[in-house]
Homo-oligomer: A and B are copies of this chain.
Amino acid sequence: MTTRDSKDSDLQRSLTLLWTERRRGQRGPRSRLTVELIAQAAVRIADADGLDAVSMQRVATELGYSTMSLYNHVPSKDLLLEVAADVGAGAPPDLGGTADFREAVRRWVGALWAGFHSRPWILRVPLDHAPVGPNQLAWLDRLLRPLLAAGLPGGEARAAALHLTAVVRGTAQISINMAGEHKRDNGIPRSDADLTHVVAELLDPADYPALTAVHAAGLAGPERADGDALPFELGFGVDRFLDGIESWVAAKSGD
């Protein structure tokens, strides 16, 4: 144990490790292992074989160290996963050139959406703390800029950013796994589309009137995602939200 200071919490300790580069001037041998290296290895494994494949043993052997070495740099697996999620998130897109705030937000949403698609395991990392990694903060910052530029005061911009982040995250969680590449059952890949049919047979239309109505009407959905357009399931809600924001700031400024 490092035991630098007993009041030093695990969380704060690992936070400092994340934010400050290697401190120098300590006694022992300098560590060849770093939090970044460990997190990157975890990301590599999660990318290749999913989040469940990330175990301390696997990460350690991936790096060529013993399992317990990791605990010199990371207090627990849970925190390692949070750090890995931050590392895996990467840097946010640069929206500097986007004048229209709607377009900027849409691009931000699209980038996050794409990120969740390329690393779906991030959605499965349980978040135990407020987002606090450098990349997560950078993403948030990049979203806040167009919202502030649009004329929202601080508190409302924060709420709007939370709303958008939550929408993308929640929508991704709900709809990504429906595509279900990774899902195979008895070796047969199974898209959840069939599943809804299976259920449809079982449920009583009287109990779910709205659902059956929508189900009947909703099958004609040949959605196109040309270029940077968002898929309809995500884009419709985002557009309505931006409509609302726009008229909100218009009403306030015209007030």
Contacts and interface: CB of A to CB of B under 8 A. Distances in A.
Contacts of A170: 165-170, 173
Contacts of A242: 244
A159 B198 contact: no
> Contact size class for A?
35 or more
Contact of A126 (B124, B165, B202): B124
Interface string A230-255: 00110011111111110110000000
A149 to B, nearest CB: 9
B131 A174 contact: yes
* Top 5 closest pairs, chain A to chain B, by CB: A166-B170, A163-B237, A154-B217, A240-B244, A170-B170
Interface of A: 6-7, 9-12, 15-16, 19-20, 124, 126-132, 134, 137-138, 140-142, 144-145, 148, 153-160, 162-171, 173-175, 177-178, 180, 183, 185-186, 188, 190, 192, 195-196, 198-199, 202-203, 207-211, 213-214, 216-218, 220-221, 232-233, 236-245, 247-248
26 contacts: A10-B186, A12-B185, A19-B199, A124-B126, A127-B174, A130-B177, A130-B196, A131-B174, A132-B196, A132-B199, A137-B199, A137-B203, A137-B208, A138-B207, A144-B213, A153-B217, A154-B213, A154-B216, A158-B214, A160-B237, A162-B233, A166-B167, A237-B241, A240-B241, A241-B244, A247-B247
